Structure 1
Amino acid sequence: MARLSITVLIMVLFCRTALSELCNPQDKQALLQIKKELGNPTTLSSWLPNTDCCNPQWEGVSCDIDTKTYRVNSLDLTDLSLPKPYPIPSSVANLPYLSFLYISRINNLVGPISPSIAKLTKLRYLYITHTNVSGQIPHFLSQMKTLLTIDFSYNALSGTLPPSLSSLPNLLGISFDGNHISGAIPDSFGSFPKHFTVLTLSRNRLTGKIPATLAKLDLAFVDLSQNMLEGDASVLFGAKKERLQKINLAKNLLAFDLGKIRLSKSKDLGGLDLRNNRIYGNLPKVLTSFKYLKRLNVSYNNLCGEIPQGGKLQRFDESCYAHNKCLCGSPLPSCT
């Protein structure tokens, strides 16, 4: 009788455990397969088949508890120590409710960006950063109409920028810094939607001129530094660029008259880095009106004239103005 009671108790506890599990079985199977395809890294040791994948103990996994569907909607694979080189797991495609995918700081993650990602029809945020993923930026991204943000910074990507990215209707920004991307910035990038605010392509091998079409965009953050871009960058400025907060064009081959650019007085510009170019003209006086300007560097250019007095311009070190053709005035030596 005692044995029967114990057996019944075990069965009841087992049933309660099974009924209390919130994780969708297909999602759990996909996650366990992802773990396997990555060589069962120790960081994912909490991913166990006999536990609930919606439990916070599952490292990097979140489920949709707001709608009570409990489908996996967020996957964060960060700082995984893989036993050997592996590609991005194709089983990621078996998480159909995924909205957020973050893959970062995995040295042994290699190969091209998996085409299986294109099957994630609800994906909004796609981050693959600081890995050794290689190949081209895939053209299938233009099919993923739900995407808001794409960040592929600091990988080993090469090839050119896909012109089709501008067709994404909800895109807010792209960041492809620190890769081996070459060629020109496509003219089509001027056709990003009106709410597009972030364009960062620094530390690549981009060449040619900045497209005049970018004049249509009202960007908040621009970083095109450390490329081989040339010619006129004044299209990135303008009196109607009311969102502009930070712009970095350092270490290129750009040549334009800085004194003729217009900056919106209604926006608090926080950073302007133009060092190591061929920019000429005067420093615009409007720079004195930006009270939140925290970074300014125009060194190693062909600027002339007196540094405007006022605002925060005299608070920057003289190295921020050094090595110009004939720039003068505080904090540099007097013009007289």
Structure 2
Amino acid sequence: MSRLSILILLLIVLSFSSALSELCNPRDKQVLLKIKKELGNPTTLSSWLPTTDCCNNWVGVSCDTVTQTYRVHNLDLSDLNLPKPYSIPFSIGNIPYLEFLSITGTPNIIGTIPPTITKLTKLRNLYIKYTNVSGQIPRFLSQIKTLEFLDLSYNKLSGNLPAWLPSLPNLVGISFDGNRISGAIPDSFGYFPKSFVMLSLSRNRLTGKIPATLAKLDVKFVYLSKNMLEGDASLLFGSEKHTRHMYLGNNSFAFDLGKLGLSKTLEGLDLSHNRLYGTLPKGLTSLKDLYYLDVSYNNLCGKIPRGGKLQEFDASTYAHNKCLCGSPLPSCKRF
């Protein structure tokens, strides 16, 4: 056998051996390459090559090595340098074992969320944020019963909050901050599953009062700042709840702050730029983990309770109220 024949045979063997050692499922690989093409072959995905293993060193791709199915289960399409505006590829729904999908930090992603995403029947975490995706939050997302966290923040979404969201049985949290969502918070939001810990709806155009049903919720993280909400938000509080963050600033809430029962686990509380009245609750002094507090720009009165961490915050925390006084503000003259 000639040297040339041996060399050719060796190359064939090496090529065959390489193909056998590839972990990536061929169907997943073809879908990923199609997604890359549908996004204009961005240089961010230059590692996605037909000749390489998608389970090894493809940016944003990871495969299931625990059960050794080696199916693609995580896909992170972040900060893509797209050459022009593109919609989310419809073929994204053809990765059947996907559990985590993130499309973030790419202003050139436009259009609406594709319905093919409902084919991802194992999807647990969906992040579409900091894009120019528009339209309403689609009802077909209610078909993905495996969803645990839904983050659609900082896009151009509009319409109302979907009343069907609490029907997702495994939902842990939602974040729709920084969109153009309008209307009232649905009554159904008081019936999220017990696993639910995060309600984040800041920087939208929400109006109306907090539904009475939300008094039933025991949510660790509540972010409703910078909307046009009004009325009594005291029902969100409770000494028996496990709230850690309560951010309600820049709304038109009006209630007696002094009558609040506060969660012992409270770490951050923003009630600034509202119409709150009464005194500061003495329960604030017993909050050992409180690191952020802002009650400025309200109608509060009376002496700031001494103790806990209340005197560690600067005067801006309490500024622009009706008649609050005491350290760190000037001393009280009448109280």
The TM-score, its normalising length taken from structure 2, stands at 0.98
1:225-244 matches, cutoff 5 A: 225-241=225-241, 243-244=242-243
Residue 321 of structure 1 is matched in structure 2 by: 318
Residue 208 of structure 1 is matched in structure 2 by: 208
Write the distance in 2 (CA, Å) between the matches of 1:45 and 1:73.
20
How many percent of aligned residue pairs carry the same amino acid? 70
Offset at residue 264 of structure 1 (A): 3.0
For the pair 1:288 / 2:285, whether they are aligned, the reply is yes
SS at match of 1:5: helix
Write the distance in 2 (CA, Å) between the matches of 1:141 and 1:217.
23
Write the distance in 1 (CA, Å) between the matches of 2:22 and 2:177.
41
Residue 248 of structure 2 is matched in structure 1 by: 249
Q: Which runs of 4+ in 1 moved over 6 A?
A: none
Report the AA paired with residue 290 of structure 1: L
1:176-195 matches, cutoff 5 A: 176-195=176-195
SS at match of 1:222: strand
Q: Which runs of 5+ in 2 are unaligned?
A: none
Residue 155 of structure 1 is matched in structure 2 by: 155
Write the distance in 2 (CA, Å) between the matches of 1:48 and 1:163.
43
Residue 301 of structure 1 is matched in structure 2 by: 298
Residue 22 of structure 2 is matched in structure 1 by: 21
Residue 77 of structure 2 is matched in structure 1 by: 77
Over residues 241-294 of structure 1, what are the superposed CA-to-partner deviations in whole Å (9 max), with x where a residue is unaligned?
Answer: 1x21111000001001111111133x2x11100000001111000000112211
Offset at residue 25 of structure 1 (A): 0.8
Write the distance in 2 (CA, Å) between the matches of 1:210 and 1:35.
44
Write the distance in 1 (CA, Å) between the matches of 2:152 and 2:122.
19
Offset at residue 23 of structure 1 (A): 0.6
Residue 40 of structure 2 is matched in structure 1 by: 39
Q: Which runs of 5+ in 1 are unaligned?
A: none
SS at match of 2:219: coil
Residue 166 of structure 2 is matched in structure 1 by: 166
Q: For 2:274, which of 271, 274, 277 is the aligned residue?
A: 277
Report the AA paired with residue 201 of structure 2: L
Residue 7 of structure 1 is matched in structure 2 by: 8
SS at match of 1:128: strand
SS at match of 2:70: coil
Offset at residue 4 of structure 1 (A): 2.0
Q: For 2:331, which of 322, 330, 334 is the aligned residue?
A: 334
Write the distance in 2 (CA, Å) between the matches of 1:288 and 1:109.
47
